[in-house]
Every structure is written in C-alpha cells, then in structure tokens.
Amino acid sequence: MEAQDINLNELVSIITPLFNSEKHLEETIQSVQKQTHTNWEWNIVDDCSTDGSIKLIERFAEKDNRIHVWKNSKNSGAAFSRNVALEKSKGRFIAYIDSDDLWDPDKLSRQLQFMQINRLGFTCASYRVISEDGTDLKKVIRMRKQSNYKDFLMNNLLQTVGIMVDLKFVPKAVCVMPDIRRRQDAATWLQILKSGNDCFGMQAPLASYRRTAGSLSSNKFKAISGVWNLYRNIESLSLPFSIYCFARYAMLAVWKRMYPEKNS
C-alpha cells in the first residue's frame, strides 16, 4: 500500500448491545474513552434494560458527543441490537465491544495500523480472560495468524472484543448478524469468511474478555445447543462434519478454561 493511501485517523464505528450491564458498564466506557485513537463513534443499543444501565450510559453520552444511544421498543436480542448499531454506523472501520469487556488503550490504534499497512479487511486481536470481578485469570487466547472458513469451524477462537472489519473490503451487508439468540456473532464471522475475507490475527493481547456467571455462553446446555444449531441449521453442515467440528469445539472449550498463559 502506498503511504498516501494510509489514514491512521479513519473514523471507527464501535458497536455495543446493552442489556442490564450496570455492574461493569462504567469500566467498559472508560476503556473506550481512554483509546489513543480518538476518532471514533460509539453506537450503543439498549435492549430494554431494567437496571441502571441506560441512565449510566446516557450520563456519559451527555458529556461525550461521540457516544450515541438508541433504545429498542421491545427486548429483541444482541443480534438485532448490533444490526441497529451497524445501520447507524458511519465509519469505514467497524469494531465490537460488549458492555462488560475491556480494551487496552492502544487497541484501536494498533489494529488500524495493522489492517491498513497490510490491506486487511477482517482481523481479530488476541485477548486476555478475566473473572467477573476483573481478576486476571492468567489466560491469553492468541489468534491464529490467518484463518479461513474451515479453520474457524474447527478452531473457534475469534472473540467479539477483538474483531475489527474494514468496510472497504467487506460489504456492510455481510456484517449483518443472523437474527438468532445465540452464536449470532460466530455466524457473522463465518459470513465474512465465506465472502472471501480471511481473518488475520494479532498476536499481542489488546483486550480483556470478562467471564461472567450470568452470560449466555456460561450456560453450558444453552451454549451446546447454540453451537449445534449453528453447525446444522445456520451453516447446513453435514452430520458427520458437524459432529467432528463439535468435538473440536468441546475440546477447545475445555482448553480455554484450563490453559494458563506461560509467558505472563
């Protein structure tokens, strides 16, 4: 890429679905506001929260005009909320963060540079795993250097908190999430991969994923059924290949729980 084609001050549109996240939301907000890359807009869609989440985010939005808040008329799920936020997005780059996760201060700047210098449309940064109270669990999930559709089916490592998409290479329509309650993020990454955009991983951990007891992914039965539905009904994989991918998913899930980061 020619030097004149690189604009490290591109607008980044950040997407967040919000639902009853008052406990951790302020910490997430602060991690976004501390970004060294300051040219961002944050599109947050509240999915009928019943706690103090909406009042909290609106208080921050009053002081920071980069934060934009919308409210669903009825509880519609994370996929619907993210799609509303995507529709509102004006940036060339799309980044995702959930309302209880955290970014390192240089996450956006380093990922933008990585993508523009290498002309990449789809990337994911490695991330740390923290407990609900923010304790570092000494686990770092490192991304593969490059993953295609089949790689992701068998090595389900991509995490929403590390994802960034360049709409110059990935059509915005491909980023629209399937309207399913579980695994809608994984289904979207598969859509992008099927569009011909491999995901390139950044080895440095630039974010923290919070493992919370109340999350959808923490309910093992629901998580299992969501993964199986993704393989069989969303991706229409054959039964033998679905079983194979599911076995790998299960082993990887155990590894994510048990694996300690040796270099931390």
The per-residue pLDDT for range 166-215, each reduced to its tens digit, is: 999 999 999 999 988 788 999 999 999 999 999 999 999 999 999 876 55
Residue with tokens 């996929």: 79
**pTM value?**
0.87
Separation CA 159–CA 201 (nearest Å): 11
Instruction: Tell me the per-residue pLDDT of 102-144, one tens digit each, with 9 for 90 and over.
Output: 999 999 999 999 999 999 999 999 999 999 999 999 999 999 9
**Which residue ranges form the domains of the chain, and what is each CATH number?**
3-212 (3.90.550.10)
Does 2 score more than 70 pLDDT? Answer: no
As a dihedral over the C-alpha atoms of residue 32, residue 122, residue 183, residue 136, rounded to 10 degrees, the angle is: -40
- pLDDT at residue 219, rounded to an integer: 60
Separation CA 221–CA 223 (nearest Å): 5
Confidence at 82, pLDDT banded by 50, 70, 90: very high
Instruction: Tell me the per-residue pLDDT of 232-254, one tens digit each, with 9 for 90 and over.
Output: 888 888 888 778 777 877 776 66
